[in-house]
Amino acid sequence: MTRLLENKIVLVTGASKGIGRAAAVALGAAGAHVVCVARTVGALEGVDDEIRKAGGSATLVPFNLKDVAAIDRLGAALFERWGRLDGLLANAGVLGVLTPITHLEPKVFAQLLDINITANWRLIRSMDLLLRQSEAGRALFVTSGAARKHTPFWGVYAMSKAALESLALTYAAECESTNVRVNLFNPGATRTAMRQKAMPGEDPATLKTPEDVARRLVELLSPSNTANGELFGY
């Protein structure tokens, strides 16, 4: 892979599996130092091994994104170490439970809000100054086609992604006159654990892999992508 991100610092949330894991490895192969955030230490260590094999380097930061104070601490630590952030891939998200809105448990609703919306707002709040210190700060938020549909049983997940899109596009508008570019990415049907949970009868072999998607993410997080406030697909 061309090293489009040589010497760049890129933060990836949900980096331990699926699209996040594949993206972290691809970003490392493209020359970035990847700051990998996920809950599980062991899984992060596996990602680190893959990044190193691909010729990259990483910093592992294990914590749950519901811990918003940890997001703030991460921003402070990045500032102290590098003084900037060149890329943010806000990939982490949860599906919740596919059920009628009236049947959804409050704790599941709260988790969707915490991870899919609040954590991303806290990332924006904590990483904005760092992105502005980069010559070409890039932020990319992973969304879903569900955000623009009204499918039975998908209501609360769809709501959370629609809110995320509004949040990210507003941030993009606020960054228009800066060197920061903010966009959305919809990977579409991809061979991930979340997809299998949502579509248990689907044959995974018919879907593109996270590694396929990761190549596109490297392009969108590179300085050469000057689009702002756009929704990209695979």
Catalytic positions are 157
- Give the max Cα distance, the chain: 49
Residue 52, token pair as written in the block: 């190193």
- Continuous H helices in the chain: 18-29, 41-53, 68-81, 106-112, 119-132, 155-174, 193-198, 210-220
Beta bridge partners of 89: 12, 140
Contact 130, 84 (CB under 8 A): yes
Distance of CA 194 to the CA centre of its chain: 14
Q: How many CB atoms lie within 10 A of CB 9?
A: 21
CB 101 within 8 A of CB 156: yes
Residue 93 tokens, joined: 């998200």
Alpha-carbon distances, residue 28 vs 6, 57, 103, 139 (angstroms): 9, 6, 42, 17
CA dist 76 and 74 (Å) reads 5
